[in-house]
Amino acid sequence: MSEAPRFRFAPSPTGFFHVGGARTALYNWALTLRTGGTFVLRIEDTDESRNSPEWTQGIIDALSWLGIDSRHPQFEGPYFQSENAHLHVAAAHRLYEAGHAYWCDLTAEQIQERAKETGKQGYDGYSRDRGLEPGPGRVLRFRVPEGVTVVNDLVRGRVEFSNDTIEDFVLLRGNGTPMFLLANVVDDIEMRISTVVRAEEHLPNTPKQQLIWDALGHTSPVWAHVPVLVNEQRKKLSKRRDKVALEQYKAEGILPDAMVNYLMTLGWAPAGDTEIVPWSRIVDEFRLEDVNHSPAFFDIKKLSAFNGDYIRAMSLESFIDACAPFLVDAPWPADRFDAGTFAQMAPLVQTRVVTLSEVPAMVDFVFLADPEIDTDAWTKTMGTDFAADVLRDYSAAVGDCTWDHETLKSILEKWTEERGLKLGKTQAPVRVAVTGRTVGPPLFESIEVLGREETLRRLGSALARLA
């Protein structure tokens, strides 16, 4: 009987949560849930001074936003790699004693010089048989054996590396601290990790790790290297060039469900004709064996489309709730905001936004004392020969009518018909007078929400400006 699988997610402390990391986390999480396994979170840096409580909390918050709850019974951690330093060092010494490693006193400059002489790249194994004892400034190097190392990868199949292309890499630095590669393997052994799902960029280092697993007397885990996410130039997503921080998408009003769903369709697709599927189906269907082999472009446009879809699928109540954080630092005076009024506008904007951050700009004219009138909008709509008439007549008619959008519409419809015009034309000056823009939520519903007094005031001031 085999043990339930143990996955691990190991972000490094970089200060922000990468969308690529989010996808890897999601892969691990989906598999954890389906197999009844465990998701191990490990904050990965051998230097503890680079860890910070804020960053750890940031990771946990980001994971939680993605639906990966650190209080879930299948969630373990966070562990800190730096706290295991003594284990890493101990393992290194075991490796040395067993003859799998040796000490070397060459500096980086010396190595480079030798490389130049021999015409080969990298370290040439100079100290292999010099029998050096440990000493200050000396590094411990792994003695890469002869032969080939075969990495069996769940998404890529069998990948073969000839050992003579792998140089004797450093295990322990000159100051005695362990290197990432070693620390990683020791931690994985310690935490009984059975499956390593990570980005493809780690594949070239995998034979080294596998060699350490072997030398330490353990069977290496199941590897799964998933393709990286790339930008439009087909380069790996980078912090400098690309928008990669999950937090930023959250701040812009991308819904977590949409983000999760979109991320999962990069390199994989659920069965059937639609990519918009609930998480439960992803958990049921996701298989590493089905993950694509080639890098995927992280397309913000498609993410937005997913998000719009998710927004429209929300109930009105949850939409209103979701909008709340985006209405606090809005462009209107706080005391003019009214939740009830917003609730009336909400169904009007729900089909019109793609991200939640667009909501304030769509309803601001309701809460602003004096919404700015867009210059282009004004010149485009007020130049018509009927602009002044429609404003004046509508103002008069609306002064004492029944205050609902059907009536408000029928009044303008009637006026329009009598003059053989189109409502599409005649509504424009009214819209600009009332909202300041040519586009926006349905006009008559908006006017109804705005109220008679304010509507008349705005119509009046537009009229005055026109005269």
Partner RNA sequence: GCUCCCAUCGUCUAGAGGCCUAGGACACCACCCUCUCAAGGUGGCGGCACGGGUUCGAAUCCCGUUGGGAGUGCCA
Positions in 333-352 near RNA (CB under 7 A): 351-352
Choice from 57, 152, 292, 461 touching RNA (CB under 7 A) = 292
Nearest to 245 by CA among 3, 436, 4, 14: 14
41 in Cβ contact with 74 (< 8 Å):
no
* Chosen residue from 440, 458, 459, 462 binding RNA by CB under 7 A: 440
CA nearest to 378, candidates 388, 366, 369: 388
Annotated catalytic residue, options 235, 239, 243, 422: 239
Residue nearer to RNA on the CB measure, 57 or 292: 292
Our answer to whether residue 239 is catalytic in this structure is: yes
Candidate residues 69, 247, 299, 376; the one interacting with RNA per rule CB under 7 A: 299
Encode the chain in three state secondary structure. CCCCCEEEECCCCCCCCEHHHHHHHHHHHHHHHHHCCEEEEEECCCCHHHCCHHHHHHHHHHHHHCCCCCCCCCEEEEEEHHHHHHHHHHHHHHHHHCCCEEEECCCHHHHHHHHHHHCCCCCCCCCCCCCCCCCCCCEEEECCCCCEEEEEECCCEEEEEEHHHCCCCEEECCCCCECHHHHHHHHHHHCCCCEEEEEHHHHHHHHHHHHHHHHCCCCCCEEEEECCEECCCCCECCCCCCCCEHHHHHHCCCCHHHHHHHHHCCCCCCCCCCCCCCHHHHHHHCCHHHCCCCCEECCHHHHHHHHHHHHHHCCHHHHHHHHHHHHCCCCCCHHHCCHHHHHHHHHHHHCCCCCHHHHHHHHHHHHCCCCCCCHHHHHHHHCCCCHHHHHHHHHHHHCCCCCCHHHHHHHHHHHHHHCCCCHHHHHHHHHHHHHCCCCCCCHHHHHHHHCHHHHHHHHHHHHHHHC
Residue among 189, 427, 455, 462 that touches RNA (CB under 7 A): 427
Measured torsion, CA atoms of residues 322, 327, 328, 330, in degrees rounded to the nearest 10: 150
Please report how close the Cβ of residue 256 comes to RNA at its closest, in angstroms: 19
Q: Which stretch binds RNA (CB under 7 A): 250-258, 291-299, 334-342, 457-465?
A: 291-299
Query: Is residue 244 involved in binding RNA (CB under 7 A)?
Result: no
At closest approach, how far in Å is the CB of 12 from RNA? 3
Q: How far is the CB of 190 from RNA (least distance, A)?
A: 16
Q: By CB under 7 A, tell whether 142 contacts RNA.
A: no
| Residues 111-130, mask of contacts with RNA (x by CB under 7 A) | x---------xxx-------
Q: Give yes or no for residue 107 binding RNA (CB under 7 A).
A: yes
- Unique residue bearing structure tokens 């940031």: 58
**Tokens (6 digits) for 457:** 């005031």
Binding track over 356-395 against RNA, x by CB under 7 A? ----------------------------------------
Rounded to a whole number of angstroms, the minimum distance from the CB of residue 347 to RNA is: 10
CB proximity list for 417: less than 8 A, separation 6 or greater: none
Question: Does position 309 bind RNA by CB under 7 A?
Answer: yes
Shortest distance (Å) from residue 144 CB to RNA = 13
C-beta atoms surrounding 292 within 10 Å:
13
Q: Which is nearer to RNA, 34 or 173 (CB)?
A: 173
443 near RNA (CB under 7 A): yes
**Interface with RNA, residue 49, by CB under 7 A:** no
- Which residue in 178, 102, 167 sits closest to 141, CA to CA? 102
Per CB under 7 A, the segment of 88-96, 178-186, 324-332, 334-342 that binds RNA is 178-186
Interaction between residue 201 and RNA (CB under 7 A):
yes
User: Residue 444 interacts with RNA (CB under 7 A)?
Assistant: yes
Q: Which stretch binds RNA (CB under 7 A): 185-193, 288-296, 393-401, 457-465?
A: 288-296
Q: Which amino acid is at 322?
A: A
Q: Which of 137, 217, 383, 420 binds RNA (CB under 7 A)?
A: 137
> Of residues 57, 118, 152, 162, which one binds RNA by CB under 7 A?
162
The piece of 23-31, 70-78, 268-276, 325-333 that touches RNA (CB under 7 A) is 268-276
Among 2, 294, 375, 402, binds RNA (CB under 7 A): 294
Per DSSP bridges, beta strands 222-226 and 195-199 are parallel
> Which of 165, 318, 379, 461 is the binder for RNA (CB under 7 A)?
165
State the number of binding residues for RNA (CB under 7 A). Answer: 87
- Output the smallest distance, CB 343 to RNA, in A: 18
Rule CB under 7 A: is residue 101 a binding residue for RNA? no
Q: Least Å distance between CB 131 and RNA?
A: 17
CB-nearer residue toward RNA: 72 or 297 = 297
94 is a contact residue toward RNA (CB under 7 A): no
| Residue 74 or 430 with smaller CB distance to RNA | 430
Contacting residue, 48, 124, 214, 275, with RNA by CB under 7 A: 275
Which of the residues are catalytic? 239
